């Protein structure tokens, strides 16, 4: 008797579509996982082929994080949902000062989604993971009926190792600490909005989506003991992130509008779209809070890294029982930088 499973045709990636059988735990699912995910994520741990990966970790504390990705459109200038799902989770680990090790990936696919697009996304995830030095070691695939999802949603989780002696946390900033940003703000959000609204600006605005673990490793090596906290200003932009930190650390923050790096084309697009760059998401930037005596050193180290060339000191922490974030504007006035309560940019990540 011949084993019929040995004669299975390869997936028709060019013309095929996801169907419910690809989430059913049977042969079709095994084939999808084998030909698309295992192929593009190739590593020894994923190849164990079990429902979990088992591995040794270096001694030290671990960081663990997760994010769901529902960005629309799935493909945008400067990236796609696949690279974003790797960068975002790597960055959440890096913000603890951790060296990212391994990721998991959970896919929720809509029936009818083109296999060619899924292949592109998986390739992009694999490339982003290799570039960031992490492995996608375990995963899961579910399929829901047409109209019950929107193409593909991805949830990645990650673990990393935190170096001994480093204890970064949102509650660690103190009055006097200096605030730095690693580059221009608002690029990701504006790239998504332009692509969603089909806007053509003179220059194409690219998402800044990138893995920041290399930059963070340099920062930790140079200024580790002086670093108080790192955070990547994603959804809600630097306005939301600064407010979160002011609350967690129970301090006020003062920033300088003039010091904020914003690309001219992003500023123009924000004006056109009625957005404030402070509220717009970034996916390859970080805010660093550092003891004042190390601020210049940190700035130098950050600017020496390809992803931190446009780093800038943007403000400092102060005593403030109200935990306000205030900005001195370019015109010399002042204003409160508040969180937005509602939704400015849905499905930005």
Residues 90-109 that bind its own copies (CB under 8 A): 92-93, 95-96, 98, 102, 104-108
Q: Which residues pair with 65 in a beta bridge?
A: 158
| Min CB(300)–its own copies separation in Å | 27
Helix (H) or strand (E) holding 127: helix 115-132
Residue choice 190, 240, 242, 295 for contact with its own copies (CB under 8 A): 240
Taking the least distance from each CB to its own copies, the nearer of 186 and 299 is: 186
Contact 346, 273 (CB under 8 A): no
Interactions with its own copies, residue window 119-178 (CB under 8 A): 137-145, 147-150, 153, 155, 157, 159, 162, 169-171
Taking the least distance from each CB to its own copies, the nearer of 50 and 329 is: 50
Contact 115, 178 (CB under 8 A): no
| CA dist 287 → 95, 212, 345 (Å) | 9, 11, 21
End-to-end alpha carbon distance in the chain:
51
Taking the least distance from each CB to its own copies, the nearer of 299 and 337 is: 337
| Min CB(24)–its own copies separation in Å | 4
Q: Which residues have C-beta within 8 Å of that of residue 24, sequence separation ≥ 6? A: 143
Interactions with its own copies, residue window 25-64 (CB under 8 A): 25-30, 48-57, 59, 61-64
- Residue 252 to residue 264: CA distance in whole angstroms: 29
Taking the least distance from each CB to its own copies, the nearer of 237 and 313 is: 237
Interactions with its own copies, residue window 172-231 (CB under 8 A): 231
| Min CB(204)–its own copies separation in Å | 25
Residue 3 CB burial class (10 angstroms; 0-12, 13-18, ≥19): exposed
Residue 325 CB burial class (10 angstroms; 0-12, 13-18, ≥19): buried
| Min CB(134)–its own copies separation in Å | 12
Contacts with its own copies, 274-303, as mask; x by CB under 8 A: -------x----------------------
Taking the least distance from each CB to its own copies, the nearer of 14 and 322 is: 322
Taking the least distance from each CB to its own copies, the nearer of 83 and 234 is: 234
Query: Cα 13–17–20 angle (5° rounding)?
Result: 125
Task: Give the three-class secondary structure for 64.
Answer: strand
| Dihedral sign computed on CA atoms, order 211, 94, 224, 59 | negative
Taking the least distance from each CB to its own copies, the nearer of 313 and 325 is: 325
| Min CB(285)–its own copies separation in Å | 14
Taking the least distance from each CB to its own copies, the nearer of 70 and 302 is: 70
| Min CB(264)–its own copies separation in Å | 25
| Min CB(218)–its own copies separation in Å | 20
| Min CB(324)–its own copies separation in Å | 7
| CA dist 181 → 299, 316, 331 (Å) | 9, 12, 21
Contact 179, 313 (CB under 8 A): yes
The count of chain residues that interact with its own copies, using the rule CB under 8 A, is: 92
Residue choice 213, 234, 282, 311 for contact with its own copies (CB under 8 A): 234
Contact 286, 210 (CB under 8 A): no
């Amino acid at each position: 008797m011949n084993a019929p499973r040995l004669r299975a045709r390869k997936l028709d990636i060019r013309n095929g579509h996801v169907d419910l059988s690809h989430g059913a735990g049977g042969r079709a699912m095994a084939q999808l996982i084998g030909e698309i995910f295992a192929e593009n994520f190739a590593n020894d741990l994923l190849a164990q082929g079990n429902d979990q990966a088992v591995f040794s970790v270096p001694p030290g504390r671990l960081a663990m994080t997760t994010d769901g990705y529902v960005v629309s459109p799935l493909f945008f200038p400067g990236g796609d949902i696949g690279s974003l799902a790797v960068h975002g989770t790597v960055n959440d680990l890096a913000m603890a000062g951790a060296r990212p090790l391994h990721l998991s990936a959970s896919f929720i696919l809509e029936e009818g989604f083109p296999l060619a697009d899924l292949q592109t996304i998986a390739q992009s995830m694999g490339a982003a993971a290799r570039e960031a030095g992490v492995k996608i070691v375990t995963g899961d695939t579910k399929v829901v009926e047409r109209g019950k999802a929107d193409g593909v949603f991805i949830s990645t989780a990650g673990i990393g190792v935190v170096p001994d002696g480093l204890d970064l946390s949102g509650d660690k900033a103190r009055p006097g600490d200096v605030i730095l940003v690693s580059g221009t703000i608002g690029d990701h959000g504006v790239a998504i909005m332009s692509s969603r609204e089909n806007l053509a600006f003179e220059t194409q605005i690219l998402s800044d989506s990138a893995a920041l673990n290399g930059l963070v490793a340099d920062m930790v090596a140079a200024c580790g003991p002086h670093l108080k906290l790192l955070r990547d200003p994603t959804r809600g932009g630097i306005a939301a992130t600064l407010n979160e930190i002011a609350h967690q650390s129970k301090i006020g923050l003062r920033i300088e509008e003039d010091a904020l790096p914003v690309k001219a084309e992003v500023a123009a697009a924000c004006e056109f779209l009625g957005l404030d760059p402070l509220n717009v998401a970034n996916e390859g930037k970080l805010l660093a809070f550092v003891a004042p005596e190390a601020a210049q050193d940190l700035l130098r180290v950050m600017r020496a890294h390809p992803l931190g060339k446009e780093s800038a000191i943007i403000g400092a922490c102060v005593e403030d029982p109200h935990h306000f974030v205030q900005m001195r504007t370019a015109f010399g006035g002042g204003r409160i930088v508040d969180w937005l309560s509602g939704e400015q940019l849905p499905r930005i990540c």
